[in-house]
């Protein structure tokens, strides 16, 4: 006998889109979509755009530093003294700062801005928590030769090859300009070389930017795929967020029982129980020190009404039959509330009748 099983019944395939709670929990743990390549490409692009925009200032500073160095070298007697060397080092450090700090500032701002655009504001300590698996040599060795690491290595090699190719073809197209620098002065040579370098780096940065966009799209797709959920996970999350329906039902039942018990404890304190006589029962209590009108201390229908009447009988609380009044009180007045003004007269008649019975007794 051959038995056939539908393996899909036993599978836990993640076919459902992640819920907002799953995405929020993953984000709090630091699992977000962020492409470092996109940030690097934008930083590189903005830095060289800034360099090009301030090329006049840069060239001017380079010439100033060049002439300063020449003047210091010409003054041989002063240059080889402690003061001369110190002056040269100070000017060199100042020149380096003038050239590097603006570039570093632009790179920092663009990097932070791109991180904010990709991730938004996020502060979490989950990613820096110490974990034993992070210092596990076996796992570290495994990660070094994982498919993800090989893909990243292949991607880096291909990028390097394409950048070299882009740079080579660009210089090949501008080879004549490069050769003509041999006949130009120092100023014109710097301008031509700067233009060639900027064009070459600009094309490389644009290439990296395009690659980074695809990388970001892939990582976003991969992150969404990793967060996919099974139908059972959806059900479990709903139970955790909304509560187990069976547990909630038991809690509500317990609450109803406690409320019923408290209500029944008030019946012996009532002045009268008004019935219709079988379906409804409403217990009233009047205390002039509390309010100007009687209060509904208990009410019920069918079985609850029978229990109210039983407790009232045991505690010698008068029971008065008044169908219209019992129905109105049950439907319109909540437990613990004063009776409405339109029922004052009808309830007063009942209470007067009860007080008369007590006097006669």
DSSP-derived secondary structure letter, 299: E
CA–CA distances in Å: residue 173 to residues 83, 115, 170, 182, 208: 48, 36, 5, 17, 21
Question: What pLDDT is stored for residue 310 in this prediction?
Answer: 92
Would you state the pLDDT for residue 65? 78
Residue extents of the structural domains in the chain:
17-238, 263-360
Please tell me the predicted confidence (pLDDT) of residue 186: 67
228 — phi, psi (to 5°)?
Answer: -55, 150
**d(C-alpha 108, C-alpha 128), whole Å:** 22
Please report which helix (H) or strand (E) contains residue 92, including its range. helix 82-119
In tens digits, the chain (361 residues) has pLDDT values of 444 444 444 446 777 777 777 777 777 776 677 777 777 778 877 887 777 777 777 777 777 777 777 777 666 566 667 776 777 788 788 888 877 777 777 778 887 787 777 766 666 555 555 555 555 565 555 555 566 677 778 878 888 888 888 888 888 887 777 777 777 776 677 777 777 877 888 888 888 888 888 888 888 888 888 888 888 877 777 776 665 667 677 878 888 888 888 889 989 989 899 998 788 999 999 888 888 889 999 999 889 999 999 999 999 889 989 899 999 999 989 998 998 888 888 888 888 888 887 776 5
Cis amide linkage into residue 78, ω under 30° from 0? no
Contact status, residue 72 vs residue 87, Cβ threshold 8 Å = yes
Quick one: fold of 263-360?
A: name from scop (3.40.1690)
Paired sense of beta strands 272-275 and 319-321, if any? parallel
The 3-state DSSP class for residue 151 equals helix
Q: What is the pLDDT of residue 299?
A: 92
- pLDDT value, residue 2: 47
């Amino acid at each position: 006998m051959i038995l056939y099983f539908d393996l899909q019944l036993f599978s836990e395939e993640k076919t459902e889109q992640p819920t907002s709670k799953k995405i929020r929990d993953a984000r709090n743990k630091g699992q977000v979509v962020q492409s470092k390549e996109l940030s690097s490409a934008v930083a590189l692009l903005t830095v060289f755009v800034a360099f090009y925009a301030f090329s006049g200032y840069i060239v001017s500073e380079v010439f100033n530093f060049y002439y300063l160095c020449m003047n210091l070298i010409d003054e041989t007697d002063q240059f080889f003294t402690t003061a001369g060397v110190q002056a040269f080092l100070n000017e060199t450090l100042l020149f380096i700062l003038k050239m590097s700090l603006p570039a570093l500032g632009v790179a920092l701002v663009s990097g932070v801005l791109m991180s904010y655009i990709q991730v938004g504001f996020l502060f979490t300590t989950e990613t820096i928590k110490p974990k034993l698996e992070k210092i596990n040599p076996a796992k570290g060795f495994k990660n070094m030769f994982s498919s993800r690491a090989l893909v990243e290595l292949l991607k880096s090699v291909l990028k390097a090859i394409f950048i070299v190719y882009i740079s080579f073809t660009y210089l090949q197209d501008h080879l004549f300009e490069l050769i003509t620098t041999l006949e130009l002065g120092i100023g014109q040579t710097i301008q031509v070389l700067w233009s060639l370098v900027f064009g070459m780096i600009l094309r490389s940065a644009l290439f990296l930017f395009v690659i980074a966009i695809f990388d970001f799209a892939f990582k976003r797709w991969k992150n969404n795929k990793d967060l996919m959920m099974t139908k059972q996970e959806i059900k479990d999350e709903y139970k955790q967020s909304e509560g187990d329906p069976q547990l909630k039902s038991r809690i509500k039942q317990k609450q109803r029982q406690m409320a019923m018990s408290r209500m029944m404890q008030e019946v012996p304190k009532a002045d009268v129980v008004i019935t219709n006589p079988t379906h409804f029962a409403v217990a009233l209590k009047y205390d002039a020190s509390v309010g100007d009108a009687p209060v509904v201390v208990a009410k019920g229908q069918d079985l609850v009404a029978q229990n109210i009447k039983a407790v009232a009988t045991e505690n010698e609380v008068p029971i008065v039959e008044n169908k219209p009044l019992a129905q109105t009180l049950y439907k319109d007045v909540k437990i613990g509330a004063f009776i409405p003004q339109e029922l004052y007269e009808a309830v007063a008649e009942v209470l007067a009748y009860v007080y008369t019975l007590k006097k006669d007794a």
